[in-house]
Each structure stands twice: as structure tokens, then as C-alpha cells.
Amino acid sequence: MSCNSCSNAATRASARKATGRAAALATAWALALALSLVLAVCLYPQSSAAMVTSTSAQPAPVPPVPGGWQDALGSAQVLGEGDLSQWGLRIYHARLVGERLPTQGNEPFALELTYYRSISRERIVSVSLDEMKRLCGDALSPGQQELWRSLLERSLVDVRAGDHVTGVYLPGHGVRFYRGAQLLADVDDDGFARAFFAIWLDPRTRNADLRAHLLGASGGPHD
């Protein structure tokens, strides 16, 4: 074999080695990316914080009485408000609206949620029913659970960042649900309504800080 042939062979061998190293590096990067995605799924399973699909900026203030669901509340005002956050992620901004703070369940009021993130109806129904069952305990029969599940499924919707969903409590009647100014459902079941709003207002709520803000920790009027 001539010197030129040896030189050409060495050049080709070197090129093959370089190509092989580049391919190996690309494979390593691909495996690292795949591993990171697997870890993300394992560390953040489907939950009230992991169901987030999009974000938005701080929602613009909504006038307390522009019509629509506010018509049932008379001279309503914002009694308290605050954010729900989990794992450092803001889920929604909540406002309690009414003439005065609810004390014995005999005052009409509205709870308005402005979402920072998109959440499916199925997830909202599931989390809401779990909390209603937890707070009601053994007093809630299996038949009542299924009835309440069907009421939640009929009343709630998928939400996206920026959506306003409001529940209006009407003593002795039940609750009306709205998205924006659109009436979604009118549920004539006072027990269901009380259990639903207990998710936020009951002393045993999982979100004690938010409850404190809703009930006027920032200076809302009291009876």
C-alpha cells in the first residue's frame, strides 16, 4: 500500500470516528431529555397543582355590581379576596361579594373565581366532591354523593386562563352558577349549596389563609 493510500485510509478512519462521537453525543442528549420528561411526570402527577396547562397575568379587576349575577345581591360589595396557590403556582383569584359577611347561612353572597390556569371540568368536579365528602363525613350517603356529583357535572365547566366562574348562594333555595354573565345552572338544593361553599368558608377548609382573606382579614365589613 502506498503512503498516499495509507494517508487516505487514516483520514477516512478519523472521519468515521468523529461521526461516531457526534452520533453518540446526540443519543446521550436525547436520552437525557427523555429522562427529564419522565421525571417531570413522576414528580408532578395529576393533581390540583399539576392540572395546570396555561398561565395568564394578574386578572383585571371586575366591577362588583355590573349586572348579571350581581342582581341577586342588592347593594353588593367585595367583602374579601385572595389567591389560591399550590406549589408556588397561582390557581385562581377568589372574591367574596355580598352586602355583609355570611355568618349563619342566612345571607345571600357570591363567590367569584378568576382562573389563572386552564382546568378540566372533570378535575374541578372531582376535587369539589372530594372536599364536600370530607367535610360532610358520614352524614353524606352514597346516594347523596352520586346526586351531588351529577349536580356538579351539570353546573361546572372547563375553564381557561382569564375565565370568571361565580357561585351565588341564595338562602333557602340553593346556588346559581355563572360563567361571566352566562347562567350555567340553577340548583334548588340548599344542602348541596351549603356543602359546596363550605369548601372555602368552613373552618376546616384546606385553605385557611384564603378563607381568612375572604372573610375580611383585609378589612371587609362585619355584622
What does the pLDDT profile of the chain (223 residues) look like in tens digits? 444 444 444 445 454 554 555 444 444 444 343 333 333 333 233 333 333 333 334 444 434 444 567 776 777 889 999 999 988 899 999 999 988 887 667 889 999 999 999 999 999 999 999 999 999 998 889 999 999 999 999 999 999 999 999 999 999 999 999 999 899 999 999 999 999 999 999 999 999 999 999 998 644 443 3
Do 108 and 39 lie in a common domain? no
128 and 205 together in one domain:
yes
Please indicate, yes or no, whether residues 36 and 109 belong to a single structural domain of this protein.
no
Query: Does residue 9 fall inside a structural domain?
Result: yes
Residue labelled with grid coordinates 403556582: 89
The residue segments making up the domain with residue 96 are 68-214
* Position 79 in a domain: yes
Write out pLDDT tens, residues 106-139: 889 999 999 999 999 999 999 999 999 999 998 8
Q: What is the per-residue pLDDT for 216?
A: 81
In a domain, 51, yes or no: no
Same domain, 39 and 93: no
For residue 101, the model assigns a pLDDT of: 82
Measured between alpha carbons, how far is residue 90 from residues 15, 55, 59, 173 in Å?
A: 53, 9, 11, 32
Asked if residue 206 and residue 98 are part of one domain, the reply reads: yes
Asked, for residue 136, whether it belongs to a domain, the answer is: yes
Q: Are residues 27 and 72 in the same domain?
A: no
Could you tell me if 178 and 101 lie in one domain? Answer: yes
pLDDT score recorded for residue 106 = 80
pTM of the model: 0.67
Residue 119 resides in a domain: yes
Domain count, the chain: 2
Claim to verify: residue 112 and residue 189 sit in the same structural domain: yes
Q: Are residues 105 and 148 located together in one domain of the fold?
A: yes
Contacts of 90 by beta carbon, 8 Å cutoff, 6+ apart: 55, 83, 84, 116, 117
Reading phi first (left if > 0) and then psi (alpha if -120 to 50, else beta), residue 210 is in alpha
Residue 108 falls within a domain, yes or no?
A: yes
Task: Give the CA count within 13 Å in the CB-facing half-sphere of 147.
Answer: 12
Determine the distance from the C-alpha atom of residue 57 to the mean position of all C-alpha atoms in its chain, rounded to a whole number. Answer: 15
